[in-house]
Structure 1
Amino acid sequence: MFSFLAACSPLQIVDHLTPKTGYERVQGIPYAEGPRQTYDLYEPSAPRRDAPAIVYFYGGGWKSGDKDKYRFVAQSLTKAGYTVAIPDYRLYPQVTFPDFVQDGAAAVAAVAARLDRPIVLMGHSAGAHIAMMLTLDPRWLSAAGLDVDSTVKATVGLSGPYDFLPLSDDLQPILAPQGDPEASQPITYARGDAPPLLLLHGTADTTVLPKNTKNLAAAIAGLGGDVTVKTYPKVGHAPMIGAFAPALDFLAPSRADVLAWLRDRGL
């Protein structure tokens, strides 16, 4: 056992420790034609009546990530009675902004059509960026045949990059290949009539600085929007989502706070 764990990545260890009961998983449901344009659907064994579905976007700097490594997030949310969809999306260098946002919109549209119920968007890091772009800029879901304000009932962003200009040299070719960096910033599309937002961030995050959450929250609040912010002293980047795993919930109360916030809004 210990030799096996020593050879695994942190996400593989978390997956190994995650229960495989309490849900039914359907893998590789296509939402477009490409090999990375599929999602996994997790149906809880004990669903909450009239609960929305949660579409979760993982992080990875828009250049890495795999839905199979985030079963622990789905298990954690299905345990609370939610149906969960986790899409893959195309990555750099195969694509650049805004292609992965368009993939996110297509995935949400496919999930909404399959389940015929409201959606809560949720994401961590680069996934929070995608979720927030879909929430704040109606063009993407509209192009996929959805009205964002009637489809998306709330959005949860964990450790998200929302306001991070100037772009670093490594991000410039990913997010501003045509030389328009402001177009890639969720704060550019801040609006007071957006669905309710929950923004969570660790104060010790050096990967995505906490000012991203602070600045977006201030912009939304200044426009009269519904935004809630929770910060976690001494918590870094990865523990914010790692704490959703059953064996790692001591890292941060992020899971409990997300579920409580959703319940408070009748979701």
Structure 2
Amino acid sequence: MEAPRAGPGALAPWKEMSAEELEKQYSPSRWVIRVEPEEALRTFWEKGTQATNNAQATRRCQLHVPYGDGHGDRMDIYFPGVESEALPFFLFFHGGYWQSGSKDQSAFMVDPLTAQGVAVAVVDYDVAPKGSLDRMVDQATRSVAFVQKRYPHNEGIYLCGHSAGAHLASMVLLASWTEHGVAPNLRGFFLVSGIYDLEPIVPTSNNALLLLTLEDAVRNSPWRRLDAAPAQPSGPACPVLVMVGEHESPEFHRQSWEFCQSLCRGGWKVTFKKLPDVDHFSIIENLAKKDYVVTQIIMKTISQKC
């Protein structure tokens, strides 16, 4: 572990915050120091769109692949140059506070990963207000089941999510696969700048489109669900990397660390990393670089076939 252990039984800091401070804590762009908040948001989506257009123009791909019957049940799959039925698959869930963003703006990591023999699936889901959070969680789970069924000889499925996408990826940790008729070959999770306890979101403006009740928030909070779930079985566990950028709010740091601690208590093989000199947006933008520390960690994890 790379952070000090929090004291047990401490009152969640957000419960003592004013409405204004809580709003700031859960507004990631307000913690960016390199540019103004509006520019950080605008350039993030611009860079994502550019990376996606480049990936579609230069990589072998299948676009708008349906993983279910719903209109939003779509993913783009990008393949390495060498064809094989036994590839590692990297699934990415985009951020956007469950109410913006899409696969068409999120293919940052395609070039460096496909160049190393990894297939990349960038997953869409129905953002609010069209989709409820329960539906988004179901879509994330079904997308993983789909990849396993479509590519049964895969060399491992690795999940990555950013911000709201990290929440969706973390909910997959708790999925019951019996109802999906498949046991996916999950080999690793990369959770980037996520929110794992949704209760603090309920009183903020971020809930205006989500319309989460307290019950909804608790039901869809992996941190709460994990503490109530049975421990991970003994033996080799699927590795989980929980990451947060240096220039993110104290609440994002707290959420990442406390979720990491819950994973530890559940027996998961988990690592916590605070990445220096990055914020909520640059932490994922940099996945376009093959020499970026997170890109290197992802490739090392996949090559080890844990």
**Could you state the TM-score of these two structures normalised by the residue count of structure 1?**
0.83
Distance 2:279 2:127 in 1: 24
| Counterpart residue number, 1:154 | 188
| Counterpart residue number, 1:81 | 117
**Counterpart AA for 2:294:** S
| Counterpart residue number, 2:126 | 90
Question: Structure 1 residues 262 and 95 mapped into 2: Cα distance closer, same or farther (>3 Å)?
Answer: same
In structure 1, runs of 5+ residues without a counterpart are 1-7
Distance 1:93 1:39 in 2: 20
1:138 equivalenced with 2:175 (yes/no): yes
| Counterpart residue number, 1:3 | none
Contact 2:55 2:107 (C-alpha < 8 Å) held by counterparts: no
Contact 1:119 1:153 (C-alpha < 8 Å) held by counterparts: yes
**Counterpart AA for 2:293:** P
| Counterpart residue number, 1:257 | 297
- Superposed displacement of residue 20, structure 1: 5.8
Structure 1 residue matching 2:189: 3-state secondary structure: strand
Distance 2:61 2:151 in 1: 14
- Superposed displacement of residue 260, structure 1: 2.4
Structure 1 residue matching 2:96: 3-state secondary structure: coil
Distance 1:178 1:220 in 2: 23
- Superposed displacement of residue 84, structure 1: 1.0
Among 248, 252, 263, the residue aligned to 1:209: 252
**Counterpart AA for 2:159:** L
Per mean C-alpha deviation after superposition, the further-off stretch among 164-173 and 204-213 is: 164-173
Distance 1:33 1:49 in 2: 25
Contact 1:160 1:208 (C-alpha < 8 Å) held by counterparts: no
Distance 2:251 2:214 in 1: 23
CA-based RMSD of the aligned residues comes to 2.7
Identical columns (%): 25
Question: Structure 1 residues 53 and 154 mapped into 2: Cα distance closer, same or farther (>3 Å)?
Answer: same
Question: Structure 1 residues 23 and 65 mapped into 2: Cα distance closer, same or farther (>3 Å)?
Answer: same
Per mean C-alpha deviation after superposition, the further-off stretch among 118-127 and 167-176 is: 167-176
**Could you state the TM-score of these two structures normalised by the residue count of structure 2?**
0.73
Distance 1:59 1:162 in 2: 13
**Counterpart AA for 1:11:** W
Aligned residues: 252
In structure 2, runs of 5+ residues without a counterpart are 1-41
Question: Structure 1 residues 14 and 65 mapped into 2: Cα distance closer, same or farther (>3 Å)?
Answer: closer
Structure 2 residue matching 1:72: 3-state secondary structure: coil
Kindly report which structure 2 residues correspond to 1:90-239, keeping only aligned pairs within 5 A, or say none.
90-116=126-152, 117=154, 118-135=156-173, 137-139=174-176, 141-147=177-183, 150-169=184-203, 170-172=205-207, 174=210, 176-177=212-213, 179-190=215-226, 192-193=231-232, 195-206=238-249, 209-239=252-282
Contact 1:192 1:221 (C-alpha < 8 Å) held by counterparts: no
Among 86, 94, 106, the residue aligned to 1:70: 106
Contact 2:245 2:274 (C-alpha < 8 Å) held by counterparts: yes
Distance 1:160 1:83 in 2: 24
- 1:92-149: CA deviation from partner (whole Å, max 9, x where unpaired): 11121210011111211221111112311111111111011011x123x4433233xx
Per mean C-alpha deviation after superposition, the further-off stretch among 78-87 and 12-21 is: 12-21
- 1:44-72: CA deviation from partner (whole Å, max 9, x where unpaired): 01479954211111111101111121233
Per mean C-alpha deviation after superposition, the further-off stretch among 172-181 and 230-239 is: 172-181
**Counterpart AA for 1:163:** D
- Superposed displacement of residue 208, structure 1: 6.4
- Superposed displacement of residue 13, structure 1: 3.8
- 1:7-46: CA deviation from partner (whole Å, max 9, x where unpaired): x854334543646676311101111223221111111014
| Counterpart residue number, 2:71 | 35
Question: Structure 1 residues 47 and 212 mapped into 2: Cα distance closer, same or farther (>3 Å)?
Answer: farther
